[in-house]
Structure 1
Amino acid sequence: MTDLVFSNVTVRFGHHTAVDDVSLTVPSGQVVGLVGESGSGKSTLAATAVRLVRPTEGRVHADGKVQMVFQDPYSSLDPRMSIGNTIAEAMPRGTDRKAEVARLLELVNLDPGRATALPARLSGGQRQRVALARALAGRPKVIIADEITSALDVSVQGAVLNLVRDLQRQFGLTMLFISHNLAVVRYVSDRVAVMKAGKIVEEGPAAQVLADPRHEYTRELLAAAPRRDTRLEAS
């Protein structure tokens, strides 16, 4: 069982405090949606979990491997590498790479025959599926998904979210799912944490936070969000 635990994490860049004394637990096998406006510190907090950013204070703990899926599917894949080689790069030694690449591509609903293709031949949604396959190739216990649908066309967002939700359940992954979109967070999350100006201002079960928010900022976010997202329901 693998919890992802942020304990009193602070991140400063010079005189700017991007993350301010954040304590947050992502329970094993659950999805915590981290929501807030751009610049609230969400992505900086996520980066501490994969050691892209070192906390100024506090610590981050997870018992298993942590992998991250980034926002932009166009910049997160090496344009010179085939998608098969990109996925295989993250695999443990001793893995039958060809067979495992085929298995992972099937898992993310891509034709294994596309393994030799370069990223330029794929759509944004297909590239994000490759990024998910690459993350799974490392056999992680924890996935950080950082705004993974925000750069995609509306028409494919729902399909990618369905895939994420299915993979998380199939493998029992612990997941921190970051988004500024409350409709997306509502769709995939067991719990919700709301971040403003580097601080967690509210956290709890998704149904409770979204139905009866305690903090004014959460109420403002809900008021600005669509009541229904028919694109997700139809996908």
Structure 2
Amino acid sequence: MSELRFEGVSVHYGSRRRGTTAVDGVDLTVPDGAIVGLVGESGSGKSTLARAAVGLAPVSGGRILLDGAPVRQPGPVQMVFQDPYSALDPRMTVGASIAEALPRGSDRRAEVERLLAQVGLPADRAGMLPGRLSGGQRQRVALARALAARPEVIIADEITSALDVSVQGTVLNLVRDLQRRTRLSMLFISHDLAVVRYVSDFIAVLYRGRIVESGPAGEILAGPRDPYTHELLAAASRTKE
């Protein structure tokens, strides 16, 4: 079982009087073996919540639990960032970047090749520098690097927003395929509801640091209750047109 749970999580920056609350009392569960899509506009607190889960943002209130215990850092929750180029050391080969995340004692060469194959890249990419790869290929490498740590949960933060539209679909298909094969729990974050609904089993809508609506994807899409969710659905429909 690999259930990630946020219980009343808040993230506050600055002083009480002059600070900013980026995340405000969020309750959210990522069930074992499921993809939860977290959607909201820029500045809603999505990335802050993700960073809190991996220890990159301070939690000022509440708890983040994995299978009922506090999440260890560094630990079984791995994050894939929006910009794969900045997430990879440009001076390290693809193979070295992936191998760096592998547990000790692994057959590194064989594992790197296996992980590259898992994300749809040939073994010869291991000897290349990130700058020689396309954006979509770099994002595949970032996914392979996250998988190398043998996580129980992956957080994908806007991983298609920096990619060309023609490439986004292939990465989304890869995410769905990986999750089905590995049964990893995943929190998939995007500002685009059209993207979120393509991969998600459950959807949670974040607005100004708070969850305003959540539930099974089919229910949220078929009968949204919150006005903000209606706005996101309308925007997704216009994009599709």
- Same-fold status (TM-score > 0.5): yes
Aligned position for 1:43:
47
Percent identical: 69
Q: Does 1:226 align with 2:230?
A: no
CA distance in 2, matches of 1:31, 1:94: 31
Q: Does 1:60 align with 2:60?
A: no
State which drifts further: 63-72 or 52-61.
63-72
Q: Does 1:10 align with 2:21?
A: no
Which residue of the other structure, out of 145, 159, 169, is the alignment partner of 1:158?
169
CA distance in 1, matches of 2:95, 2:237: 38
Matches within 5 A, 1:189-204: 189-204=200-215
CA distance in 1, matches of 2:124, 2:174: 20
CA distance in 2, matches of 1:228, 1:151: 17
Aligned position for 2:134:
123
Q: Which runs of 4+ in 1 moved over 4 A?
A: 227-230
Q: Deviations over 1:47-98 (max 9, x none)?
A: 1111111200111011471100000112111000000000001100000000
Aligned position for 2:160:
149
Work out the number of aligned pairs and report it. 230
Aligned position for 2:227:
216
SS in 2 for 1:161: helix
State which drifts further: 182-191 or 60-69.
60-69
Amino acid paired to 2:173: N
Amino acid paired to 2:31: P
Aligned position for 2:101:
90
CA distance in 1, matches of 2:52, 2:59: 6
Amino acid paired to 1:119: P
Q: Deviations over 1:101-145 (max 9, x none)?
A: 001111111110110100010000000000000000001110000
Aligned position for 1:34:
38
Deviation at 1:18, TM superposition (A): 0.1
Q: Which runs of 5+ in 2 are unaligned?
A: 68-74
Q: Does 1:135 align with 2:146?
A: yes
Aligned position for 2:26:
22
Cα RMSD, aligned residues only: 1.2
CA distance in 1, matches of 2:231, 2:189: 18
CA distance in 2, matches of 1:96, 1:42: 36
SS in 2 for 1:80: coil
Q: Deviations over 1:29-60 (max 9, x none)?
A: 00000000000000000111111112001110
State which drifts further: 58-67 or 107-116.
58-67
Deviation at 1:225, TM superposition (A): 1.3
Amino acid paired to 2:40: G
CA distance in 2, matches of 1:67, 1:164: 14
TM-score (norm 1): 0.96
Matches within 5 A, 1:103-122: 103-122=114-133
Deviation at 1:226, TM superposition (A): 2.5
Q: Which runs of 5+ in 1 are unaligned?
A: 231-235
SS in 2 for 1:213: coil
State which drifts further: 128-137 or 46-55.
46-55
